[in-house]
Amino acid sequence: MRKKRKGCDVPEATIHRLPLYLEKLKLLQAIGVEDVSSRQLAESLDIKASQLRHDFHYFGGFSRPGRPYQVEKLVPALEKIIGIDEPVPTIIVGAGHLGQALANYQNLALQGFPVCGIFDVNPRLIGLEIRGQPIRDMEEMPRVVKEKNALIGVITVPAQYAQEVADRMVEAGIVGIFNFAPTDLKLPEGVALRNERMAVGLMALSFRVKCILESRLQHSPADEVGPPGESAAEGDGNDQVS
Amino acid sequence: MRKKRKGCDVPEATIHRLPLYLEKLKLLQAIGVEDVSSRQLAESLDIKASQLRHDFHYFGGFSRPGRPYQVEKLVPALEKIIGIDEPVPTIIVGAGHLGQALANYQNLALQGFPVCGIFDVNPRLIGLEIRGQPIRDMEEMPRVVKEKNALIGVITVPAQYAQEVADRMVEAGIVGIFNFAPTDLKLPEGVALRNERMAVGLMALSFRVKCILESRLQHSPADEVGPPGESAAEGDGNDQVS
DNA sequence: GGCCTTCTGTTACATCATTGACACCCAACT
DNA sequence: AGTTGGGTGTCAATGATGTAACAGAAGGCC
């Protein structure tokens, strides 16, 4: 209880980069690249090569010391680490616009998260089909979760219902919750949670925008947009300015 | 160029918490709470009070030293800091499912980001109305941006078009880009970017799920879900396990 | 008024993350 | 064979972030 022991001993920041590595590697794989060095891969992601090696270091060697990484080996290795070496059945609760958008987003399935159920309580929505899946009554959720062995649940209901939905998901056996509702969910031990709060992201962006506008006023009241220059993602990998 | 100077001198992590503070404060305000101490506010957000004070410290005093914060003062102060003391006109490019979901999400306007334009290139979509706004042809985007003084642009187009859209947004005068496409955009200086990559979030979640499943197997092959226990958001505030 | 409690602002410390440096490895070339 | 060039794994140093500790202000109470 002293140590964070957040499931594993891998740092937060590293975990967030793994998907990026995987994504880029799949892209390389698709165009037939066989080998890739830490420097090449890192540069294409705007991070330092040492960081990439450092990250990989948590999981033991991916290649013989002296040679670059082999894309064909690395992709499945990363998939296994992330836990998507086999599909992770996923359900969506809340078939509003966002829920439907997600259910329609076929990339989810391609990336290892096949949607095996969409649920709502609104009778108007129940029965509608999205990509072959009917929107089901919320009551059916536990049964479907068990049948399909769903592990991850996405919450796209209004904030006031989110906690209840989460509770029922956990009870049904869901192990990871992806929450789009702007609420702090309380979950029992042994359940992972990720909040995807878009308003927060927008406000962080707004802060930066404000700073930019201010600096424009200060530095040159009648200036045009600055000269172009590359910029790199940092932080949790979602933000940048310059 | 040595220092990160990411727009302002406020740390990343702090910026990401500001919206959470504001959200919670608005909630308190709505139920008539007048004063709130750093401890109360911090506890309700599952963070340490010292961190909250530390964060506020970047922006100078919000209250007389000896007394708790006044909600009525703090809310507008935070809004000003974040840059939403007045509405930030926002456009959406890409009227697919996700774009429509966002356009429908009235909370955006409530939180300070009124959608003043939705654009697409698909003739089938152009003309459809969403909450009173017609989906417009992409060609009209620059004009609308100037007319409405739009500052933030949301990109919800397929990845392969995202860079082009971003370029046109910047040219039109957009200062902040909220990108849902899984691409690394290259932007000129003086434009803020936030990537909202849902697949990345899902995979980070999957990693945790995998860890949980593994630990269940190890610790007690036939164990039930563990005893309930509170859990706290950490990292960029989006993840937690336990 | 003087004391006590509660609270903030601020500074110092501990922890985590990123970056740089280097030893060793492997293949290719001389 | 020896040597050169590029590569990874690893560790140490730097930088950023989170946490605790504390001095001093404001009001309530005696």
Which fold would CATH assign to domain A12-82? Arc Repressor Mutant, subunit A (1.10.10)
Residue to mutate among A210, A213, A225, A234, with most B CBs inside 10 A, is A210
The two three-digit tokens of residue B160, written as one number: 């392969």
Each residue of B169-208: pLDDT tens digit? Answer: 999 999 999 999 999 899 998 999 999 999 999 999 999 9
Contact B189 A101 (CB under 8 A): no
Residue with tokens 């401890």: B39
- B8 secondary structure, DSSP code: S
Q: Is the CB of A123 under 7 A from strand D?
A: no
Question: Tens of pLDDT along A56-78?
Answer: 999 987 777 678 999 999 999 99
Give the C-alpha separation, B95 to B98, whole Å. Answer: 7
Nearest to A36, CA basis, from A85, A73, A76: A73
- In whole angstroms, give the CA distance from residue B201 to residue B198: 5
CATH C-level class of B90-194: alpha beta
DSSP reduced 3-state for B136: strand
The predicted model scores a pTM of 0.89
Distance in angstroms (rounded) separating the CA atoms of residues B207 and A81: 7
| A107, A203, A214, A230, best to mutate vs chain B, most B CBs in 10 Å | A203
State the DSSP H helix or E strand holding residue B177, giving kind and residue range, or none if neither. strand B176-179
Bases on strand C under 7 Å from any protein CB: 6-12, 16-21, 24-27
pLDDT at site B227 = 45
pLDDT at A166 > cutoff 50: yes
Q: What is the DSSP code (8-state) at residue A84? A: -
Domain ranges in chain A are: 12-82, 90-196
Closest chain B residue to A176, measured at CA: B209
Closest CA to A125 of A144, A165, A98: A98
Helix (H) / strand (E) element for A117: namely strand A115-120
Contact criterion met (CB < 8 Å) for B189 and A242: yes
Instruction: Enumerate the residues of chain B whose CB falls inside 8 A of the CB of residue A233.
Output: 184, 193, 195
> Tell me: the pLDDT tens digits for A94-143?
999 999 999 998 888 999 999 999 999 999 999 999 999 999 999 999 99
A92 touches chain B (CB under 8 A): no
Q: Which residues of chain B have pLDDT under 50?
A: 1-6, 223-235
Q: Mention the CATH class of domain A90-196.
A: alpha beta
